[in-house]
Structure 1
Amino acid sequence: MDREKPLLGTVQETLLIPLYARAVETRKEHALLRDPRAEEIVASIDYDFGRFDGLPSLTGALLRTLLFDRWVAEFLSAHPQATVVEIGTGLNTRYERVDNGRARWFELDLPDVIALRRRFFTDTPQRTMIASSVTDAAWAAEVASGAGGPYLFLAEAVLPYLDEADVRQVVDLLADRFPGALLALDTAGPGFFDTQEEHDALSRVEARMHWFCPDLPAQLADWRPGADMMASHTLTSLPAALLAQLPLPYRQMVAALAAQKLPQAEGYRLNLIRLP
């Protein structure tokens, strides 16, 4: 079988890292999550995934994904017919993991990513792919006209790669078009941002982050007064209920990392905010 060679831009290439993390994890006896679809996709792509073998940050990507999955599941439990929008969807399989059969999903990414994604996924009445930059207001109009709220927007491993002005534009766009919506996003603090060249995964690709945010509540208060921080976690301070569900070796690993209080780990946060 011919494998698909990914023709992706510099930042877009980073989507292959969490994809590979999920595929590798699926083969383990005591896995954080199982994603056979990711395994199939990795096997179908002509790319040197071996450059990411054994990297600790693969586990970090999985923990982030688990928390975002949990936020979606909780949101859909409270609002079964709501709308979920994945910003920078990449080759994510969150729909396969947590969809409830009643929600409306939109999966947004740049045209080169969506072209690759369409090799593996298809639109349905409940699930629509949109090829667009997140900074282009047209996609928000398509979402607003195609589904009702409440809305949950997920920007997993996306916004730190934008310039700060573009991040603010995205936040303004969401707050203006979808007031009261939830937004899940990750932020990089100075400790994480300043060590990108030594980062185990980023050092193996060309993409680099451009926006760091040491204090998201203060940033939001300046940008959009009234935004409410619903939750904020580091990878070492995940919700107790989520930690309790991890296999023992991972619980021990998180505890050991927390004890070290590394600036790189403590400066990277996973946040859930309600827009004003």
Structure 2
Amino acid sequence: MAQIQVQLGDVQETLLATLYARAVETGKKRGLLRDETAARMVARIDYDFTRFGRSPMLLGSVLRTLILDEWVREFIDAHPGGTVIEIGAGLNTRFERLDNGRVHWVDLDLPDAMALRRRFFTECDRRKLLGASVLAEDWPDAVRELPGPYFFVAEGVLLYFPPAQVRLALAGLSRHFPGAGLAFDTAGRWLVDNQDAPVFEKTVAASFRWGCDDPAEIAGWGLGLAHRESRTLLQLPKRLARSLPPQTRATLGVVRAALRSRARGYQVSLFDLEPHVPEPTSPGDRIT
């Protein structure tokens, strides 16, 4: 079978790192997750994945995925026929891992990333693939064709936006989907300022552009967000934490040292979108 060529923007290229992280974890004897689909995609894509090496940041990506998986699973358990929306879906396989046979799903990403995603995934009655920016105005109507309630996940996405665009994105979600759940990751300001340090073994051109030391502060932006919970990458579901082998616990020590330096570091947070108030207006910040 012919190899699949990739042409992605700098930020979109990061989807290959998270894909590789899940494939590497799947190849371990006692990996934290099993994602055979990720392993098959890595084998099909013509890309030098060895550039990502065995960086501790790969494990960090897997831990982030597991935390988000837990919150999505809780939503599906409470609302078996609801709709989950993956913002910046990349080549994520969360639908394949968590599908209960009833849940509805929307994969949303920029057109170049979505073109690659369509090489591996197809739409069905319960699943839509939408090629658009989260800041565009046309995709919410397609989401509302699927039943509520709604739950949004943005994994490794918003921290690449400048702060003004983060506000616009959150304001748009609040306006269109009040009452929905929202889970995403943030990076502390020290981490953003020092992301090129050797300890982080950065291997992609994209850079974090938004620093947030305390996700609870976002609720003060006036965007109708209610903060429910934040976790560091070490605050795993108890069932997983208890099953970690000694080698993985040692690796987590490296991640802890990297991500807790001088700031709150890297966190994954859960919010509720409350009734919307007027959003900031800055036409130059919109992406269409």
Q: Normalising by the residue count of structure 2, what TM-score does the alignment of the two structures yield?
A: 0.89
User: Aligned pairs, how many?
Assistant: 274
Write out aligned runs for 1:65-104 (5 A): 65-104=65-104
2:37 maps to amino acid: R
Percent of residue pairs identical: 46
The CA deviation string for residues 146-199 of structure 1, in whole angstroms up to 9 with x for no partner, is: 112111100000001011111111111111111111100000111211111126
The CA deviation string for residues 48-68 of structure 1, in whole angstroms up to 9 with x for no partner, is: 100112111000000000111
Which residue does the alignment assign to 1:229?
A: 227
**Shift in CA distance, 245/173, structure 1 to aligned 2, threshold 3 Å:** farther
Once structures 1 and 2 are overlaid, which stretch shifts more, 229-238 or 148-157?
229-238
Which residue does the alignment assign to 1:120?
A: 120
Which residue does the alignment assign to 1:60?
A: 60
| CA distance in structure 2 between the partners assigned to 1:248 and 1:199 by the alignment | 25
The question of whether the paired residues in 2 share the 8 Å contact of 1:163 and 1:211 is answered with: yes
Asked if 1:220 is matched to 2:255, the reply is no
Write out aligned runs for 1:20-169 (5 A): 20-144=20-144, 146-169=145-168
Which residue does the alignment assign to 2:241?
A: 243
Which residue does the alignment assign to 2:265?
A: 267
The question of whether the paired residues in 2 share the 8 Å contact of 1:90 and 1:117 is answered with: yes
The question of whether the paired residues in 1 share the 8 Å contact of 2:123 and 2:129 is answered with: yes
Q: Normalising by the residue count of structure 1, what TM-score does the alignment of the two structures yield?
A: 0.93
5+ residue gaps in structure 2? 275-288
Give the 3-state SS of the residue equivalent to 1:273 in structure 2: strand
| CA distance in structure 2 between the partners assigned to 1:90 and 1:251 by the alignment | 28
Q: CA deviation at 1:241?
A: 4.1
Give the 3-state SS of the residue equivalent to 1:203 in structure 2: coil
The question of whether the paired residues in 2 share the 8 Å contact of 1:185 and 1:272 is answered with: yes
Which residue does the alignment assign to 1:204?
A: 203
5+ residue gaps in structure 1? none
The question of whether the paired residues in 2 share the 8 Å contact of 1:190 and 1:212 is answered with: yes
2:152 maps to amino acid: F
Which residue does the alignment assign to 2:283?
A: none
Q: CA deviation at 1:257?
A: 5.1
**Shift in CA distance, 256/201, structure 1 to aligned 2, threshold 3 Å:** closer
**Shift in CA distance, 265/236, structure 1 to aligned 2, threshold 3 Å:** farther
| CA distance in structure 1 between the partners assigned to 2:20 and 2:200 by the alignment | 12
The question of whether the paired residues in 2 share the 8 Å contact of 1:88 and 1:155 is answered with: yes
| CA distance in structure 1 between the partners assigned to 2:254 and 2:39 by the alignment | 29
Asked if 1:181 is matched to 2:180, the reply is yes
Give the 3-state SS of the residue equivalent to 1:12 in structure 2: helix
1:34 maps to amino acid: R
The question of whether the paired residues in 2 share the 8 Å contact of 1:231 and 1:272 is answered with: yes
1:165 maps to amino acid: A
The question of whether the paired residues in 1 share the 8 Å contact of 2:5 and 2:47 is answered with: yes
Give the 3-state SS of the residue equivalent to 1:2 in structure 2: coil
**Shift in CA distance, 242/229, structure 1 to aligned 2, threshold 3 Å:** farther
Q: CA deviation at 1:204?
A: 1.6
| CA distance in structure 2 between the partners assigned to 1:177 and 1:215 by the alignment | 25
| CA distance in structure 2 between the partners assigned to 1:169 and 1:246 by the alignment | 39
Q: CA deviation at 1:201?
A: 6.4
- After superposition, the CA RMSD in angstroms is 2.0
The question of whether the paired residues in 2 share the 8 Å contact of 1:168 and 1:223 is answered with: no
The question of whether the paired residues in 2 share the 8 Å contact of 1:234 and 1:268 is answered with: yes
**Shift in CA distance, 10/260, structure 1 to aligned 2, threshold 3 Å:** closer
The question of whether the paired residues in 1 share the 8 Å contact of 2:60 and 2:255 is answered with: no
The question of whether the paired residues in 2 share the 8 Å contact of 1:57 and 1:200 is answered with: no
